[in-house]
Amino acid sequence: MAMQEQCSAPPQWRSISLTHVEFAEGDLTGQVLAYITLLPIAILVGFVTLIVFKRELHTISFFGGIVLNEGVNWVLKHILREPRPCAGAHSSVPTEYGMPSSHSQLIWFFVVYFFLFLYLRMHQTNNARCVDLLWRHILSIILLGIALSVSYSRVYLLYHTWSQVFYGGVAGSTIGIIWFFFTQEVLTPLFPKIAAWPISEYFLVRDTSLIPNILWFEYTVTRSEARNRQRKLGTKLQ
């Protein structure tokens, strides 16, 4: 394990290809954690992909909260100006300040918001069957494990101290709670009006907040449309 004592004689660091994340040469655990610490970046890429292909207002709002969370992190870092541990250990870091950890703040914002979405938002729209509750609990445990792993990776790889990771998690969780209820109470009632704007119709932006299970809805609609087109094609060929 990467220990604080190694700061005086830092190991040979190796970076993951196409990224600036570094881990100690020959450290398999560090290599695995280096990939885990990239999960917040994967989340951002996933959101951009969903927005481009789905264009759903709640997804856009969720991503807006992530952007706000990152903005708050930048402000806090430049107010507190607490340096990262083992200054100079890594050849490349985005900023010299480490309080609070942006990775920790982002992943805990995402996880806490998702928790609230699963147990409050989906509870309002779905019948709480045993199977529904089971997969929600399983997904929640997986998300919690991811958040803890990302937080631990930042300390293990000497990018942050425990306090920087802890306060990053507290900040992200707090903003996640605030943004969830702001979206629910303020933005969601406005989504139907926003979806009806001419610019929203032009860019095919939609509101699915009243549809309980969007995956099942899209599946049934697509299957029904495919069958209708198949019948029409068969009629033309006769």
Cα gap 153→3, rounded to integer Å:
13
Return the pLDDT at 24: 75
Closest to 3 (Cα-Cα) out of 28, 26, 30, 22? 30
Question: What predicted TM-score, i.e. pTM, was given to this entire model?
Answer: 0.81
Cα gap 178→113, rounded to integer Å:
9
- Domain borders along the chain are 4-207, 209-238
- Find the mean pLDDT for residues 1-28: 61
Q: Is the pLDDT of residue 192 over 60?
A: yes
Beta strand extents in 89-150 (DSSP E only): none
Query: Per-residue confidence at 213, pLDDT binned at 50, 70, 90?
Result: low
Strand pairing class (13-15; 22-24) = antiparallel
Cα gap 202→82, rounded to integer Å:
46
Cα gap 138→119, rounded to integer Å:
12
- Find the mean pLDDT for residues 94-119: 87
Task: Say which amino acid occupies 9.
Answer: A
In the block, residue with structure tokens 């997986």: 142
Which residues neighbour 13 within 8 Å (Cβ) at sequence distance 6 or greater?
22, 23, 24, 25, 89, 90, 91
Cα gap 140→113, rounded to integer Å:
11
Return the pLDDT at 31: 80
Q: Which helix (H) or strand (E) holds 50?
A: helix 39-54
Give pLDDT tens digits for 30-81.
788 888 888 888 888 888 898 888 888 888 999 999 999 999 999 998 898 8
Return the pLDDT at 9: 47
Return the pLDDT at 145: 93
Q: Is the pLDDT of residue 125 over 70?
A: no
Cα gap 132→122, rounded to integer Å:
10
Query: Per-residue confidence at 5, pLDDT binned at 50, 70, 90?
Result: very low
Q: Is the pLDDT of residue 10 over 60?
A: no
User: Cβ distance 110 to 176 under 8 Å?
Assistant: yes
Return the pLDDT at 1: 44
Give pLDDT tens digits for 127-186.
556 766 778 888 889 999 999 999 998 888 888 889 999 999 999 999 999 999 999 889
Residue 161 or 211, more confident = 161
What percentage of the chain has pLDDT greater than the value 70? 80
Q: Helix (H, G, I), strand (E, B), or coil: what is residue 166?
A: helix
Residue 229 or 111, more confident = 111
- Tell me the average pLDDT of the chain: 81
